Amino acid sequence: MTVARFWRDISSRYNLYGTKCAACDRIYFPVRQICPECRRSSIGKMERYKLSGKGKVYSFSVVHDAPPQMSVIRPYAVAIVEMEEGVKVTGQLVDVDLEDIDIGMSVEAVLRKIGDEGPDGVINYGFKFTPRLD
Amino acid sequence: MDVGIVSYGAYVPRFRITPTEIGRVWGQDGKAMGKGLFINGKSVPSPDEDVITISTSAARSMLRRVDVNPADIGALYVGSESHPYAVKPTGTVVAEAIEASPELCVADLEFACKAGTAGIQMVMGMVGSGMIRYGVAIGADTSQGAPGDALEYSASAGGAAFLIGREDIIARFNGTLSFTTDTPDFWRREGQPYPSHGGRFTGEPAYFKHVGEAARRMMDRMGTSPGDYNHIVLHQPNGKFPQRMASMLGFSNEQVTRGLLTPMIGNTYSGAVPLGLAAVLDVASPGERILVVAYGSGAGSDAFDITVTDAIKEFNRAAAPTIDGLMENTRELDYATYAKYRGKILMKG
């Protein structure tokens, strides 16, 4: 990923900014330019919207065959998280023992390193999810 | 108008390793080493954690506890000796992650283990002069100890963030001073992965001289004596030094205990005194007085005289993890996993 491509997504990756359609109140993540339900009537009505970062595990998978950058932490879990706002977001689950992960488990977003472009490259940061005490 | 702490937040990674486990690998009596240093375990960052993520977690906890608009933060300083980049400030990412960007002053600081408290002093000046409404000072580290070196038993990770302002302060700064000399007790040259140190030279002419002088001069300036303080928070490269220093200054063990975290998490370097102060603020009551003395090799000490205000009664501590909370749900690592996580294993490509 180039530096500029990641940089454009910083507000989404650091602070979970998505979009809300002011015509139908649907929330989207990541950012959408147009509401697929309201279509042309959403033009000019798509607003910046910040997710709370809180949600529940909707589904998850444990990755054993990891890409090279992830081999240090293999095996690791990736989850689809249903956010409080109803939108589903995919992210890695951290700071949890794999056997303790359950569907419905409360989680919240934290900032972690997502990867880097080698030892002399830029470091990319973004959200991952950790267990949350209700 | 008084300048003080409006809020604070802390973060310590979940993983731990014991001195016994480190000693097992290097053929040393790790148990005796841990006893000698008074360190029962040290925190270890996950491979996806660094000073930027630790600082962000601490700063987010700090903001959760108060109703302050991040856009009103006029300065953010991160003190560390393990900034992820040599060139590109840690604070730029942290400020963006707490939505304090773009109208604020940001810089990374380095003064061995006291860069975080140096940041507090800088922000105090800016707030006190009316230049900014709020400022954030963070001390955080993912410190390095060369494999097999004595430092490996203590060098750990963690950090704390302080929101400094004039409104609704939970603790007031009565005064601050620094004591600085050219004393090469511990250093790391540019490009070197691990620091070097002067062994026993880090004791009397370095830690004890600077911390002692700063503490005595602070009490002289304030006209106080050890009995006027409820707590003393000292830099804690190991568990023994701060206890001995406090005793030399005339403080009791009870005054030291609450702000002493090294026995549980090791030496978090720039995070050490900020975390110790956070631990005290977690339990402090109105009117309690705290003497804080940080130490950075090279060498210097920053001293602070602090009084907790009535506002701490309304302060929403429960909105973010306390230090005690961060000591729960930990996971112990074996040395091989620790070495892998800390990048001590040479990988292909």
Band the pLDDT of A1: cuts 50, 70, 90: low
Q: Write out the two tokens for B147.
A: 């494999």
Cis peptide upstream of residue B226 (ω within 30 degrees of 0): no
Give the integer Cα–Cα distance in Å for A53 and B97: 13
Q: What mean pLDDT is predicted for residues B178-200?
A: 92
Other C-beta atoms lying within 10 Å of the C-beta of residue B217: 15
Among residues A2, A34, A16, A24, the alpha carbon closest in space to that of A88 is found at: A16
- Distance of residue B90 Cα from the nearest chain A Cα, in angstroms: 11
Q: Is A26 left (phi over 0), alpha (psi -120 to 50) or beta?
A: beta
Specify the pLDDT at position A118.
87
Cis peptide upstream of residue B102 (ω within 30 degrees of 0): yes
Q: Using one digit for the tens of pLDDT, what is the confidence trace for B285-299?
A: 999 999 999 999 999
CB contact under 8 A, A73 and B57: no
Q: Using one digit for the tens of pLDDT, what is the confidence trace for B113-143?
A: 999 999 999 999 999 999 999 999 999 999 9
Measure CA B158 to chain center.
8
Residue of B14, B53, B349 with shortest CB distance to A111: B53
CB contact under 8 A, B97 and A68: no
CB contact under 8 A, B49 and A114: no
* ipTM reported for the complex, 2 dp: 0.96
**Got the DSSP string for B169-181?**
-SEEEEEEEEEEE
Q: Using one digit for the tens of pLDDT, what is the confidence trace for B190-209?
A: 989 899 988 888 999 999 99
Give chain A's domain count. Answer: 1
Q: Who contacts B204 (Cβ-Cβ below 8 Å, separation ≥6)? A: none
Other C-beta atoms lying within 10 Å of the C-beta of residue B57: 29
Asked whether residue A88 is assigned to any structural domain, the reply reads: yes
CB contact under 8 A, B97 and A15: yes
What is the residue-averaged pLDDT of chain B? 96
Instruction: Identify residue B230 by its one-letter amino acid code.
Output: N
Asked whether residue A69 is assigned to any structural domain, the reply reads: yes
Asked whether residue A36 is assigned to any structural domain, the reply reads: no
Residue of A10, A68, A123 with shortest CB distance to B96: A10
Q: What is the dihedral of CA B132, B10, B115, B86, to 10 degrees?
A: -100
Asked whether residue A97 is assigned to any structural domain, the reply reads: yes
Contact B215, B249 (CB under 8 A): yes
Residue of A72, A94, A111 with shortest CB distance to B56: A111
Q: Using one digit for the tens of pLDDT, what is the confidence trace for A62-105?
A: 999 999 889 999 999 999 999 999 999 999 999 999 999 999 99
Q: Which residue of B has its CA nearest to A128?
A: B48
Asked whether residue A109 is assigned to any structural domain, the reply reads: yes
Which residue in B14, B44, B48 has the most chain A C-beta atoms within 10 A of its own C-beta, making it the best mutation to test that interface? B48
Residue of B47, B57, B85 with shortest CB distance to A110: B57
Asked whether residue A110 is assigned to any structural domain, the reply reads: yes
Q: Sort out which chain B residues have CB atoms less than 8 A from A12's CB and list them.
A: none
CB contact under 8 A, B48 and A128: yes
Band the pLDDT of A133: cuts 50, 70, 90: confident
CATH number of the domain at A125, please: 2.40.50
Q: How many residues would you count in chain A? A: 134
CB contact under 8 A, B53 and A72: no
Band the pLDDT of B145: cuts 50, 70, 90: confident
Which residue among the candidates B113, B152, B197, B210 is catalytic per the annotation?
B113
Domain that holds residue A61: 52-131
Asked whether residue A85 is assigned to any structural domain, the reply reads: yes
Q: Sort out which chain B residues have CB atoms less than 8 A from A113's CB and list them.
A: 47-50, 52-53
Q: Which residue of A has its CA nearest to B61?
A: A110
Specify the pLDDT at position B310.
98
Give the integer Cα–Cα distance in Å for A37 and A56: 25
